[in-house]
């Protein structure tokens, strides 16, 4: 999974921000990586985190171990760990996450369950992340367009 979304195009060359595919792996392996940690990594280390697989339990564990080694290398202490959701919302193609539905409505978009189901898990993950109140949300509309939801 080394494909980036178009709405990430302003930073993927430098990897100055954590791309969605890495954020998805973070949620899957249960590590809360801060942007300050990410900025301490070399370009090669960031690229390795982009390219490493993280879909199976074994891959996620290897990803978590490698990531924590990097954080400890630069900070002296591991990153916080989070509980891993055994049934993450982005996997469920039948239920539109309320924050996504509400954020879409802010832009005058009414999402149908069929549209949600047609998205890939990575696309659903991105919309969930971009719709959270704690996120700056500037790419939500771009993501809706990119995913052909408007």
Q: Mind listing the pLDDT tens digit for each residue in 93-145?
A: 999 999 999 999 999 999 999 999 999 999 999 999 999 886 666 899 999 99
Task: Please name the residue that has the structure tokens 């193609």.
Answer: 93
Pairing of strands 80-81, 31-32: antiparallel
Write 82-90 long-range contacts (CB < 8 A, 24+): 82/27, 82/30, 82/31, 82/32, 83/30, 84/27, 84/28, 84/29, 84/30, 84/60, 85/27, 88/27, 88/28, 88/125, 89/124, 89/128, 90/24, 90/121, 90/122, 90/124, 90/125, 90/128
What confidence score (pLDDT) does residue 107 get? 93
Burial class (CB in 10 A: 0-12, 13-18, 19+), 87: exposed
What is the model's pLDDT at position 75? 96
Eight-state DSSP code of residue 99? H
pLDDT in tens, 56-93: 999 999 999 999 999 999 999 999 999 999 999 999 99
pLDDT tens digits, residue range 18-58? Answer: 999 999 999 999 999 999 999 999 999 999 999 999 989 99
CA neighbor of 28 nearest in space, from 95, 82, 99, 94: 82
The pLDDT assigned to 9 comes to: 87
- Say what the pLDDT of residue 1 is: 43
How many residues belong to the chain?
A: 150
Widest pairwise Cα distance in the chain: 47
pTM (two decimals): 0.90
Write the Ramachandran bin of 30: left for phi over 0, alpha for psi from -120 to 50, otherwise beta: left
CA distances from 78 to 49, 67, 117, 143 (A): 16, 9, 37, 32
Quick one: pLDDT at residue 138? 81
């Amino acid at each position: 999974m080394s494909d980036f979304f178009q709405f990430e195009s302003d930073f993927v060359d430098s990897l100055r921000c954590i791309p969605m595919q890495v954020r998805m792996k973070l949620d899957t392996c249960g590590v809360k990586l801060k942007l300050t940690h990410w900025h301490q990594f070399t370009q090669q280390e960031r690229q390795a985190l982009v390219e490493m697989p993280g879909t199976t339990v074994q891959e996620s564990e290897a990803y978590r171990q490698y990531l924590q080694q990097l954080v400890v290398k630069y900070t002296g202490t591991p990153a916080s760990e989070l509980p891993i959701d055994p049934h993450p919302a982005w996997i469920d193609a039948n239920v539109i996450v309320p924050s996504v539905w509400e954020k879409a409505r802010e832009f005058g978009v009414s999402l149908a369950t069929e549209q949600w189901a047609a998205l890939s898990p990575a696309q659903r993950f991105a919309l969930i992340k971009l719709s959270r109140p704690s996120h700056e949300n500037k790419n939500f509309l771009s993501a809706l367009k990119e995913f052909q939801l408007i």
